[in-house]
């Protein structure tokens, strides 16, 4: 389960994932994986909307679509890329900075997402719940992908 804590203009979410750090890193840097989990439980992300230029100064962008039909283009600029342990990116309009930290932990990975300089409209319980749902969707995506790999191995074609 994901824990998310709002502290003024900062939001920190943490989760243990039953996947190796390299798999978690790939999920945060692969367009198809980003599309699979980024919307969490509150939006979908069309796979063809995700672009990734994984380098400092590079951008990644995606479209979100809410159940009510509202859509929004999100755009971020990478500040730091230290594979497979840390990603730092900014949302250029608001100045929101997100640091994703991926650390080995026992049988998997400890993931921390730390957002700083939250604009007032994101300093809410709803935003914390939204980030938690994204990390829950990431866990489900990683589990599904792992189960699919096991199935393919157990039943060769």
The CATH number of residue 103's host domain is 3.30.530.20
For 6-20, 94-108, 136-150, which range has the lowest pLDDT when averaged over its residues? 136-150
How far apart CA 79 and CA 109 sit, in angstroms, is 23
Strand order in the sheet with 108-116: 3-7, 10-17, 108-116, 97-105, 86-90, 71-82, 59-65, 51-52
Number of folded domains in the chain? Answer: 1
Q: How confident is the model at residue 1 (pLDDT cuts 50, 70, 90)?
A: confident
Do 109 and 102 contact (CB within 8 A), yes or no? yes
Q: How confident is the model at residue 82 (pLDDT cuts 50, 70, 90)?
A: very high
Indicate whether 157 pLDDT > 60: no
Q: Provide mean pLDDT across the span 66-76.
A: 95
Higher pLDDT, 99 or 156: 99
pLDDT of residue 155: 34
Residues 97-129: pLDDT tens digits? 999 999 999 999 999 999 999 999 999 999 999
- pTM of the prediction? 0.90
Could you say which DSSP state residue 121 is in?
Answer: G
Mean pLDDT (the chain) is: 92
Indicate whether 148 pLDDT > 70: no
Domain that holds residue 39: 3-154
């Amino acid at each position: 389960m994901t824990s998310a804590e709002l502290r003024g203009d900062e939001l920190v979410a943490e989760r243990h994932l039953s996947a190796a750090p390299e798999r978690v890193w790939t999920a945060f840097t692969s367009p198809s994986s980003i599309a699979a989990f980024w919307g969490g439980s509150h939006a979908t992300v069309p796979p063809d909307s995700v672009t990734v230029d994984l380098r400092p100064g590079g951008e990644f962008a995606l479209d979100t679509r809410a159940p009510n039909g509202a859509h929004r283009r999100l755009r971020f600029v990478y500040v730091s890329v230290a594979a497979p342990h840390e990603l730092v990116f900014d949302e250029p309009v608001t100045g929101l900075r997100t640091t994703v930290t991926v650390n080995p932990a026992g049988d998997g990975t400890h993931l921390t997402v730390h957002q700083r300089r939250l604009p007032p409209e994101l300093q809410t319980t709803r935003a914390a719940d939204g980030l938690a749902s994204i990390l829950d969707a990431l866990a489900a995506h990683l589990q599904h992908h792992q189960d699919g790999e096991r199935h393919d191995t157990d039943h060769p074609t």
